[in-house]
Every structure is written in structure tokens, then in C-alpha cells.
Structure 1
Amino acid sequence: MIRIAFSITLLLVIQMAFGQTTSKPLRVGVVGLVHSHVHGILNKTFKQTGQSDIQIVGIAEPNRELAERFAKQYGYSMSLVYPTIAEMLDKTKPEAVTDFGQIVDHKKTVEACAPRGIHVMVEKPLATSFADAKQMEALARKHNIQVLTNYETTWYGSNHKAYAIANTEKSIGDLRKIVVHDGHEGPKEIGVNKEFLDWLTDPATNGAGALFDFGCYGANLSTWLMHNQRPVSVMAVTQQIKPDIYPKVDDEATIIVTYPKTQTIIQASWNWPFARKDMEVYGQTGYVHTVDGKRMRVRLKNDKQEWTTEAVQADAPAGDPFAYLAKLIRGETKPDELTSLENNMIVMEILDAARQSAKTGKAVALKQKL
């Protein structure tokens, strides 16, 4: 008995030393397969070897042909697939849901999950309107669930190291200007699948074009860097440079977000010559630029020239959104501000104002809360 007890203790010590957990994988339901970001969770769950922190217990997707196509690609059983969210939730009892459907349907997912006490992670942005976001927020508060928004850039070590330089270490003085560039050559140009392209280029299902698709990244990062401060005003200009390809939505957008002593410029585009997600943060006495998920350029007050550095994955809150989701629900990590509902309510307020500004040609003043 002593030998057995010693062996169990030794195993636990080894697991702790290597950061392993004895927790069961988080039971996750997938809602929708029409957003191409779904390949991340399908690959993690069905293709990667070794113990996973999540287990897909059900998929809600009414498009049977699409579900079968992915089943062949990833090897999952079609017995996991249900035609409606309600049936999937009731039959499989997930602890959390990840939404890879149309942005406009995020509210329906929260409406189905919240009364059942099921946590929700949606792909960016949170909603297609601030009004929908407020209803989602009310449901989350009422039923005490997490409603998280996933951005690729949340898991960039460079962004978190830039935040530390600017806000934790305060190495560049008070923030004065933030410039965020996001986008690519265009969804059709990079070859997204038809199911994704159809709703991504429809203002009713996506909220807008590049304005929402990539403008949300800058709004998310700016809100984070500004400690969830609501801006004073929002001004936006959009263009249809390729109306023959994108007749319903903008493909070029610039948003100016004004704070009392800081300005953020968000450049969202489906016209970049190559894909990019980078950021410039300027303070009174220095700056920090992120080049990609790792590489950075920095110049501080007494530096004669800028210098380069690299972030590591450990600078980010987790290696991927699903590992983070599992740890958060298990109480094994603290909430991350970038995915939080508080941050993304402000993001939606900015995007809503930007869409209105682009239509009217006027800046939109945000009412300040007392």
C-alpha cells in the first residue's frame, strides 16, 4: 500500500512539474461550420495526437453536405452532427459552446445557451450591432455565464509584451497614438470557401465588410491598451475599391477613435498586398511596434535608435483559444481582458458608431456615462 501511494504521489508531482493536468477534457459543442476559423478546433480535436484539453461532443450544422465534407477531412463521425442548436445542447450536454456561424447568429447561440448555463465563445466580432450585444450581455449576466470573443491576435505574445512595455512597465510614457493595421488581399482573393464568402460579404449577416471583419481587431486592442476607457468620438471612412467583387459591402475602412488625450487609427482592409496584423503604440517618450505574433521594434527615451526583440508564446495567456477556454471554465486561469465581455461591449459600440459615421460622413460622439 505504501508503495502504491508513493507511486501515485510521484505521478502527481511529475504531472505538476510538466504542467499537465488530471482534469477531464472540457465538453465542447460546436455551433456552425460556415466560418473557416472552425478548422482550428477541428484540427486540434481530431488531427492532433496526445491528450487534448477539449472534447467535441456535438456539432450543430443544418448544412449536411458541409458537415459531411468536413467529416471526411477530419475523420469525425456524423453521429456528432445535429440540425439545430437546441437538439445538440439537449442531447450532448456540453459545458461550453464555440460559435463558428454567421456573426448575426451569435445572439441566437447565447439565447439558447445562457438559460442552460452553458458558456459561449464566439468568433470576432461579438455581434453585428450594439443592440444585439446588449441583449447578449443581459443574458450572460442573468444566467452567470461567460460570453467570450475570440481574436487571433489575443494569442500573439507580441501584443502582450507590447502591453507590458506600454502599461505595466510604463516605459514609453502616457499613450498618445495607437495605429493598428489588419487585413489581407480580400476573402475571395485568398480563396475562402463559398459558405464563408457568402455571409462574410453580406452586411446583414456580417454587419459590414472590412469595417467589421478587420476593424474589430483594432477596436479590441485599443480598448485593452486604454484600460476599457470608452472613447469620446468615432469617425470612419469606407470605400468600395472592388465593387465588382464586393458589391454589397465596403472593402476598405479607416476608423479614428478619439480619447481625451489619445487617438487610435484603425486601418482595416481587403486590399493589402499581403496579410497583416500589426500595431504601433506611441507614448510621450517612446514607441513599441509589433510586426507579427513574435517580432517587435522598440525605441525608448534614451535610445539613439530603435532595437528589435521577440516575444515568446508564454507572454500570451494561452497557446490557443480552446486551451484558454478549458482553463478558464475549470478555474485554472484568470480571465483575459481581450476576450472579455466588458472589452467587447465597447468594441461593438465603436463599430456601431463607425458604421454610422461612414454612412453620414460625420463623427459620432459617444455619450459619456456619469
Structure 2
Amino acid sequence: MKKATLFLFLLIGMLPVSFSQAQVLKIGVAGLHHGHVGWVLEAHKRPDLEIVGIAEPNRALAERYARQHGLSMDIVFDTVEEMVEKTNPEAVTGFGATFHHLEIVKACAPRGIHVMVEKPLAVSLAHATEMAGLAKKHGIHLLTNYETSWYASNEKAKALLQSGKVGEARKIVVRDGHRGPKKIGVGPEFLDWLTDPELNGAGALMDFGCYGANLSTWLLEGQRPISVTAVTQQLNQGDNPKVDDEATIILAYPNSQTIIEASWNWPIGRKDMEVYGLTGAIFADDGSHLRVRMAEGYSGFSEEKIELPDRAQPFDDPFSVLIAVVRGETKLDPFDPYSLENNLVVMEILQAAKESAENGKTVFLPSR
């Protein structure tokens, strides 16, 4: 009787450990050339996530990050194919040049490995379409991470718009950017591909124009614009000799307009948004601060200021979203900022914006 009791006690004592281990998401990291890679390397310390492999051919770069974050070089491989073959991750996060997102999906999708890349989804609509086809064929999740997806202010703005607080949307203005990659001091490996038109797809137009396209598609419930008009400039040729550093994109919808101002020339870094309805306006000034102005007369208004806590889990953190989606604990809403359907529209917009800026003409999107 005593032996049976002891066995039962030991068995029960083991259950939480086994359960905990089963919940840990094993991930691979594809590339270390993105300036945000510290996010995922720090996430390795979480109890629900484990980095089992890293694909990075630059050994010196890999050794620097491994020392900095306490990771073993034994899990570093030269290619994504070798990394996934030898470590069998459940998901892979992309932290290299945007151009390489397609090769990550090519390596992962046939093996049933889910993928999350840093924004934007791809360098071109052609790449994005091929990635989407692979994801759908092999039944994997393909997510795109934007910093603004974590913003409680944007979530609140969407809720207020849906509630009819300011009436139907007529104009959305999204402004994103900073002083430029070189001026803010990004690492050389990040700067090299950000300012390369092949590896980044463009300059500020891709780097920051994607935010506005993503948010507009989300706020407008997946609407595709009728047309896209874009103007790009190279205001700092010394720092950005190969790509644009200033982009303004106008999206015309049947009942509204979105203006995207993407720049590497803002004196102060920003990620803010304005939504104008028929009876008022919503200003998402940053991730946690929101202002709502209700119209009074010709130019008067009443204003409410709102300070918001972090978004509720799992949407307060991109890796929590990845874990929840892969585990089936969370199903993304239609055209959620992370979703593939949203980001395919984003790539349509960005592709049209590049064509418009190059040709000096408005580009009309084909109807579906």
C-alpha cells in the first residue's frame, strides 16, 4: 500500500513538468541581420518558448549574438534548410532581409512548420503570392509582425470606429518613420539590406509604408483600395543613395481615403494614426495614448483623452500571438494585422505604390 501511494505521488509530481514541457513552443530563427532580432533572442528566456535552431551564415555575427544572449553556437547552422532538418522546430521566425522571407517559407511550409516574419510580408507581390500559395497548400500559419499590432491605442480606435462613435470613416492618416536608418545608428548588417532596393524592395516606402497599408486594411474590414497614387523622393542621397527615403501614398476607397506618410526624414520617430469620421476624429498618438474629438459647430470640438493599459494577452506580445495561433488557442479575426489575408492586400498596395511612384501615374487595382 505504501509503495502504491509513493508511486502515485511521484506520478502526480511529474505531471506539471511534463505538461509544461509539452506547452513549450520550439522555434527556429532564420537570419540575424534584422535590427529587431533582439526581441526573439530575449524571448528565449520565456518558459513557453525555446529557440532550438538559428540559421545564419555569418559566423562572427552569430557568435556576437550568442555571447550576448547566452545561446550555444551548436544550434547555429548556415542555411534554413539545414536548421529545420536538424532541429525540427514547430515554427520559424524570420529576422533577415525581407527578400529572404520567400526562401524561409519554401523551406518550412512543405515540412508543416509555421512561419512569422517581420513586416512587411515580402519584397514584392510576386513573392507574397508564392508564399501564400505554399502556406495554403501545406496548411501552415504565415504571420507578419508589426509593432503597431501591439498598440492598445489602435485596438481602441478600431473599437470606437466600429461602435459608430465618430461616424463612418472618411479619411485615415497614418504617419510612420524616424530620422533614417543611418542617423539612428542601426547596425551595419541591418543598414546594408535596408538601403538595398533588391533586399528591402524599396526604402522608406516599404519600411514604413507597410504600416499604413496594414492598418487601413484592418480598420476598413479588408477593403481593397480602388486606386493607389504615390510620390517618392530621395531627400538624403548621401545616406540613402540607392533607395527612396520619403514616400507619400494615397489610397482611394469607394467611401473614404487613406494617406500614408512614410519617411526616413522625421526629426522625431513616430508611429501615429488619425481617423476622421462624419461626426468626430480619433487620434492614436502612440501605443497607449488616444484622443477623441467630437465636432461642435464649424471648428469647435470637445476632446476626451484616454490612457490605455497594454493589450490583453496574447496580443500584448508577438511571440504570445505566435504561440496561441500555433496551439489553436487563438483564431485571428478576419483581416487581423498579423493575418495573411491582410498582408496580401498590403503587398498589392505597396506594389502599386512602387509602380505609381516610378511612372508618375495613379495605379488602379484590378477588381476581384
Unaligned runs of 5+ in 1: 13-19
SS at 1:367's partner residue? coil
For residues 357 and 148 of structure 2, the distance between their equivalents in structure 1, rounded to whole angstroms, comes to 25
CA distances 1:201-237 after superposition (whole Å, capped 9, x unpaired): 0000000000000000000000000111111000000
Q: Is the contact between residue 151 and residue 311 of structure 2 (CA under 8 Å) also seen in structure 1?
A: no
- Identity of counterpart residues, as a percentage? 58
Q: Is the contact between residue 293 and residue 302 of structure 2 (CA under 8 Å) also seen in structure 1?
A: yes
2:231 is aligned, of 237, 242, 251, to 237
1:79 and 2:79 matched: no
Aligned length: 354
1:310 is aligned, of 307, 310, 318, to 307
Q: Is the contact between residue 54 and residue 323 of structure 1 (CA under 8 Å) also seen in structure 2?
A: no
How far 1:314 sits from its partner (Å)? 2.9
Q: Is the contact between residue 27 and residue 93 of structure 2 (CA under 8 Å) also seen in structure 1?
A: yes
| RMSD of aligned alpha carbons | 2.1
1:136 and 2:131 matched: yes
For residues 225 and 344 of structure 2, the distance between their equivalents in structure 1, rounded to whole angstroms, comes to 12
For residues 280 and 189 of structure 1, the distance between their equivalents in structure 2, rounded to whole angstroms, comes to 27
SS at 2:89's partner residue? coil
SS at 1:34's partner residue? coil
Question: Which residue of structure 2 lines up, in the alignment, with residue 365 of structure 1?
Answer: 364
Equivalent runs, 1:68-147 vs 2, <5 Å: 68-147=63-142
Question: Which residue of structure 2 lines up, in the alignment, with residue 59 of structure 1?
Answer: 54
For residues 330 and 65 of structure 1, the distance between their equivalents in structure 2, rounded to whole angstroms, comes to 35
Q: Is the contact between residue 107 and residue 132 of structure 1 (CA under 8 Å) also seen in structure 2?
A: yes
For residues 301 and 246 of structure 1, the distance between their equivalents in structure 2, rounded to whole angstroms, comes to 42
SS at 2:181's partner residue? coil
1:338 and 2:340 matched: no
Relative to the length of structure 1, the TM-score reads 0.92
For residues 340 and 164 of structure 2, the distance between their equivalents in structure 1, rounded to whole angstroms, comes to 26
CA distances 1:267-321 after superposition (whole Å, capped 9, x unpaired): 0000001110000001111111111110011023579421210222135752210
1:355 and 2:350 matched: no
Paired amino acid for 2:107: A
1:299 and 2:298 matched: no
Q: Is the contact between residue 150 and residue 311 of structure 2 (CA under 8 Å) also seen in structure 1?
A: no
Q: Is the contact between residue 29 and residue 58 of structure 1 (CA under 8 Å) also seen in structure 2?
A: yes
Paired amino acid for 1:232: I
Q: Is the contact between residue 224 and residue 338 of structure 1 (CA under 8 Å) also seen in structure 2?
A: yes
Compare 334-343 and 121-130 and name the one that shifted more. 334-343
Question: Which residue of structure 2 lines up, in the alignment, with residue 258 of structure 1?
Answer: 252
SS at 1:314's partner residue? coil
Q: Is the contact between residue 98 and residue 120 of structure 1 (CA under 8 Å) also seen in structure 2?
A: yes
Paired amino acid for 2:367: Q
For residues 159 and 53 of structure 1, the distance between their equivalents in structure 2, rounded to whole angstroms, comes to 27
Question: Which residue of structure 2 lines up, in the alignment, with residue 165 of structure 1?
Answer: 160
| Cα distance change of structure 1 residues 158 and 136 upon mapping to structure 2, 3 Å threshold | same
For residues 347 and 301 of structure 2, the distance between their equivalents in structure 1, rounded to whole angstroms, comes to 40
1:37 and 2:63 matched: no
SS at 2:35's partner residue? coil
1:275 is aligned, of 269, 272, 291, to 269
Paired amino acid for 2:77: Y
Paired amino acid for 1:329: V
How far 1:21 sits from its partner (Å)? 7.2
For residues 237 and 53 of structure 1, the distance between their equivalents in structure 2, rounded to whole angstroms, comes to 45
Question: Which residue of structure 1 lines up, in the alignment, with residue 192 of structure 2?
Answer: 198
Unaligned runs of 5+ in 2: none
Relative to the length of structure 2, the TM-score reads 0.92
For residues 132 and 22 of structure 1, the distance between their equivalents in structure 2, rounded to whole angstroms, comes to 36
For residues 345 and 217 of structure 2, the distance between their equivalents in structure 1, rounded to whole angstroms, comes to 7
Q: Is the contact between residue 290 and residue 296 of structure 1 (CA under 8 Å) also seen in structure 2?
A: yes
2:240 is aligned, of 216, 225, 246, to 246
